[in-house]
Amino acid sequence: MKPANSTTTEAATRADFSRIRYAQVWEDADVLLAALEVKSTDTVVSISSAGDNALALLGAGAERVVALDLNPAQLACLELRVAAYRELTHEELLVLMGSRAGTAAERHALYERCRGRLSAEVCAFWDKQPQSVAGGIGAAGKFEDYFRLFRTRVLPLVHGRKTIAALLHGGTPAERERFYEERWNTWRWRWLFRVFFSRFMMGRLGRDPAFFKYVEGSVADRILGRTRHALVVLDPVRNPYLHWILTGTHGEALPWALRAENFDVIRARLDRLEWHELTLEAFLERERAAGVAKRVLKYNLSDIFEYMSAENTAKLLAALAEASAPGGRLAYWNMLAPRSRPESLAHRLLTREDLARALFAQDKAFFYSALVVEEVL
């Protein structure tokens, strides 16, 4: 696809945006909401991806949420979610997503109830891929395909169902550490993990190879270290991302936007959500041209700087600081390429290392290497 106007981002010129990359948002909304501290007067801009965290920001009470993405397939994921929140019960939403078991016929019937609320373009998009609906729309992305391959082809070579169930049962921190060292962390686990989560395999099967341009060092070793944190330090019982990777459903551990206690409040606030096929730079230009600059106070930037050079990262951070009112806040993740505001922007952005470090220690989406939180001065 082509960006909406001449204002492009670096990733748009190198990555393939021809399909759903992420059918779920693999960033912990609990951490995001704590980082941004959304208030009822806030306008929040969110990188959309599949839309889960834009919906979480809406449910957290933002006055307005603007979801942006370069990939129309990702926005189609968000639009179908919005239709599902309007038309389905909470349990039916979970079945359509794939968070709960359901047959292909059940999911197609649920989708049919949502079709009337979709734009013609998005309706045509989903109509052309009935297999994505049948398997649960939360499983329809390239990244989810990658984890499905890991779950069905690689993991059985290492651990059986009883061992996986025992891991997800959790236990005390001491019990989790003993289980990990004595039963889980075998030489076969380490070897196959390093092969499957190598730069080559992730680029070929999981993420776009272009996204590794600025990554140095071993990809697999970094992710392996964070995986141990998720299995030992954090409680696997409460980790929806881990449950999906290992079982293909969320079980009883649901992401923020899919929890029963948040369903009604999200549904009641859907008119405050909008989405656009725009770069972040183009959105900032549009706001400035409309004379409404500096009304955005919070930004969920996902991991967009992962795909940019340090120079382009600095330029975009400067533009965000200029477009935001004092007290505004940015939150974003580093996966493998370290990115944060340069020293030249120290007078414009305050890095909240204390807050970011404490929240990152709780991050259930364990494949990231850092969380960055910055405030506009």
- The tens digit of pLDDT for each residue in 100-142 reads 999 999 999 999 999 999 999 999 999 999 999 999 999 999 9
Structure-token match 């005390």, residue found: 172
Backbone φ, ψ for residue 376 (5° rounding): -80, 130
pLDDT digits (tens, 9 = 90+) for 365-375: 988 999 999 99
CA dist., res. 40 & res. 5, Å (int):
32
Closest CA to 71 of 18, 149, 143: 18
| Partner residues linked to 66 by β-bridges | 45, 274
- With contact defined as beta carbons under 8 Å apart, do 220 and 193 qualify? yes
- DSSP run (H or E) holding 12: none
Closest CA to 29 of 372, 367, 359, 370: 359
**HEC profile for 312-325?**
HHHHHHHHHHHHCC
Structure tokens at 247: 């079982």
pLDDT of residue 2: 33
What contacts 2, CB < 8 A, 6 or more positions away? none
**Rounded to 5°, angle at Cα 262 from 116 and 46:** 75
Structure tokens at 276: 């656009």
Residue 270: C-alpha distances to residues 38, 55, 59, 108, 117 (Å): 16, 8, 9, 23, 13
**Sheet strands (E) in 14-122:** 43-47, 64-68
Structure-token match 């470090």, residue found: 357
Residue 171: C-alpha distances to residues 28, 182, 226, 231, 243 (Å): 22, 15, 19, 11, 15
Segment 255-259 shows an average pLDDT of 98
Could you tell me the pTM of the whole model?
0.91
The average confidence (pLDDT) of the chain is: 91
pLDDT of residue 6: 35
Q: How far apart are the first and last CA of the chain?
A: 36
- With contact defined as beta carbons under 8 Å apart, do 253 and 244 qualify? no
pLDDT of residue 13 exceeding 80, the answer is: no
pLDDT of residue 212: 46
Structure-token match 């998720």, residue found: 230
CA dist., res. 292 & res. 285, Å (int):
10
- Percentage of the chain lying above the pLDDT 70 cut: 89
CA dist., res. 266 & res. 251, Å (int):
21
Structure tokens at 218: 């071993």
pLDDT of residue 213: 52
pLDDT digits (tens, 9 = 90+) for 132-168: 999 999 999 999 999 999 999 999 999 999 999 999 9
pLDDT of residue 7: 42
